[in-house]
């Protein structure tokens, strides 16, 4: 567990500030997993549309993002990263 409440870290131009980040060496490879709560932290991190857009557009984006994540979760883990999304 690398970060705690209110903390963040940056890597390769990406900022991680939600959820829990675990870093491990698995079979000689570095594995980084950002665990997020679907109905909160995951949705906070999507930025497909600006927050200045109308509320109904933002609601539609939340529905689309949540549907995408749930479909990926239902499909099972991807073997190349042992992740869902």
Residues 25-43: pLDDT tens digits? Answer: 888 888 877 777 777 767 7
Shared domain for 45 and 74, answered yes or no, is: yes
Q: Is residue 23 part of a domain?
A: yes
Q: Do 41 and 21 fall within a single domain? A: no
Return the closest-CA partner of residue 64 out of 35, 42, 36: 42
**Segment 3-25, tens digit of pLDDT:** 556 666 667 766 666 777 777 88
Across-strand partners of 34?
A: 21
49 with 75, same domain: the answer is: yes
Residues 67 and 53 in one domain: yes
Give the residue numbers spanning the domain of 13. 1-35
Q: Is the pTM of this model over 0.75?
A: no
> In this structure, what DSSP letter does residue 2 have?
-
Residue bearing tokens 């409440």? 5
Name the nearest CA neighbour of 83 among 19, 15, 40, 34.
Answer: 34
């Amino acid at each position: 567990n690398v970060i705690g409440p209110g903390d963040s870290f940056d890597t390769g131009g990406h900022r991680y500030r939600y959820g829990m980040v675990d870093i491990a060496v698995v079979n000689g490879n570095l594995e980084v997993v950002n665990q997020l709560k679907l109905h909160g932290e995951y949705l906070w991190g999507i930025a497909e549309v600006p927050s200045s857009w109308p509320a109904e557009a933002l609601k539609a984006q939340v529905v689309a993002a949540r549907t995408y994540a749930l479909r990926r979760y239902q499909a099972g883990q991807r073997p190349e990263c042992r992740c869902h999304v």
